[in-house]
Amino acid sequence: MATDVQLSTKAKMPILGLGTWQAPPGKVEEAVKFAIDVGYRHFDCAYLYKNESEIGNGIQQKIKEGVVKREDLFVVSKLWCTFHERSLVKGACQKSLAALKLDYLDLYLIHFPMGFKAGEEMHPVDDNGMIIPSNTDILDTWEAMEELVDAGLVKAIGISNFNHKQIERLLTKPGLKFKPANNQIECHPYLTQEKLIKYCQSKGISVTAYSPLGSPDRPWAKPEDPTLLEDPKIKEIAAKHNKTSAQVLIRFHIQRNVAVIPKSDKPHRIEENFKVFDFKLTNEEMETILSFNRNWRVVEMLNAVNHKEYPFKEDY
């Protein structure tokens, strides 16, 4: 079974999880069921992905079959940006819980440090196509997140896409009740995030890497973008270990004590991505992979670049 990352709450989060962004509703239920059979216990979800209901169906079916119990699973969801007003946080969490057919989440994250104008539109934009912000403050949103823990709806709370200044502001908040247990960030060899990971881990905040394979199926991919899975140096390391590039990219995070959530809806890939506990990259190989950093992001959120809390202008 997969090894774990310990959270500040003392809970154990399986270090390898199944990502579900871009997993189509028609396929994700089968993907989840297959993943549970293979051994996955950590599932990364979000309201934004519009597929939580199917994920919930898959989980329920495996619980009914007796393959797993709820307490064997580690289920993560995320508060979307249009729900940052204190009064909206609990309802947003309950929507995800209802869709996932669960009575609690193991971890609930603030998806981005930016509040967007509340309403039906998930990406409310002005006439120039730029995001319309809300006038919410992340510290108020955090207090509403803390209330979810007290209400028993979530076991732990965390953040995603926060830079170190935003985290620092949260950690130094007067009257902070629960510190963030996790920061989920984009991370792969072209965006190695050394400073941010070191900062988080030094503060007792675990890190999860999203887009570990460079999200090759992202809708906005450009032909000239670098492709991690085809990188000849990564292929070379993979060949040495008789592994695939994807397995090397996943193993890279595990050896940094960073949880990792590769997404696939293809059974053979889901299984392949899980076979990463029977080999080890050498220190030299780890250093080589770290040297590929070029601060290249898959998720830039450029239509929010004018938001006062836009996180990616900071060095880390």
Q: Catalytic positions, please?
A: 49
Helices (H), the chain: 25-38, 52-64, 86-100, 138-150, 164-171, 194-202, 232-241, 245-254, 267-274, 283-290
Longest dimension (CA), the chain: 54
Backbone CA torsion sign across 135, 49, 78, 217:
negative
**CA angle, residues 29, 32, 37, in degrees to nearest 5:** 130
In a 3-state reduction of DSSP, which class is residue 207? strand
Which one-letter DSSP state was computed for residue 171? H
Q: How far apart are CA 6 and CA 12, in angstroms?
A: 5
Judge contact between 107 and 154, C-beta under 8 A: yes
Q: How far apart are CA 186 and CA 207, in angstroms?
A: 10
Nearest Cα neighbor of 200 from 212, 182, 174 is 182
In a 3-state reduction of DSSP, which class is residue 159? strand
Q: How many residues does the chain have?
A: 316
Torsion, CA 236, CA 255, CA 186, CA 19, rounded to 10: 90
